[in-house]
Amino acid sequence: MGLHISWAKTKIQNVASGLSPPSCVISGHQVEAVNKVTYLGSDVDSSGYCIPEILRRIGLALSIISQLDRVWRQSRLSNTTRFCIYKLKADIAKLEAFHMMNQRRILGILWYEFVTNEEVATLSQLPSINEAISWRRHSLFGHVRRIDQAVPAHQALHFSVTSRQHSGQFGFWRRQPGHH
């Protein structure tokens, strides 16, 4: 019992104080010298500056946000709506991280075991938060569609939005012709 060193994972890094040391042998094990280490999900660069980590995180965020390029180009959406969608995307990412953390806790997976999120999802067989939210929204829509037509929630299904009137002003909510 006690602490054991994983020599395969052990690296040497010189941070912000000169050249990287050469690889060396410690207790008969070869230890590699590196310029960058990922620790607790963050890259630690030998330069001692956090710019590489900031650029990496911006790149990750940009790859997610760029998936919404079609949404950003919609001329019918106001900037207020666009920023609500942007905020929602960030909120879903936070929820997804929380969802994954709890799955890891339930499965007894510790942070140093380096188990990917895909592997955790396969083990838990739970849907992503985004999938769960979509499923619940569709269930609610089906429920509202089946309730009595006199209920206001059901009547709201028959409303429509006009995009712009000829004067350039936004239209208003109204019933579609032929619906009561």
Closest C-alpha among 86, 93, 87, 89 to residue 128: 93
Q: What values do phi and psi take at 68, rounded to 5?
A: -100, 15
What are the pLDDT digits (tens) for 5-40?
Answer: 788 888 887 776 767 677 788 888 888 888 877 766
pLDDT in the model for residue 172: 46
Which of 134, 56, 49 lies closest to 95, judged by CA? 134
Q: What is the mean pLDDT of residues 100-124?
A: 90
- pLDDT surpasses 60 at 163: no
Task: Name the DSSP letter for residue 20.
Answer: P
Q: What's 110's DSSP letter?
A: -
Those residues with Cβ within 8 angstroms of residue 149's Cβ, 6 or more apart along the chain or in another chain = 155
Q: Among candidates 127, 122, 99, 100, which has minimal Cα distance to 111?
A: 100
Segment holding 29, helix H or strand E: strand 29-33
The pLDDT value recorded for residue 76 is 83
Task: List, for residues 84-110, the tens digit of each pLDDT value.
Answer: 877 877 778 888 888 888 899 999 998
CB 117, CB 96: distance < 8 Å: no
Q: Which two tokens stand for residue 75?
A: 């001329």
CB count within 10 Å of CB 70 equals 7
**17-26, 62-71, 135-144, 152-161: least confident range:** 152-161
* pLDDT confidence of residue 142: 76
**What's the pLDDT score for residue 52?**
75
Place of tokens 């060193």: 5
Average pLDDT of the residues in 64-88: 81
Amino acid 122: pLDDT = 94
pLDDT of residue 160: 57
What does pTM read for this prediction?
0.42
Q: pLDDT averaged over the chain?
A: 77
Residue 161 is predicted with a pLDDT of 52
- What are the phi and psi torsion angles at 26 (to 5°)? -125, 125
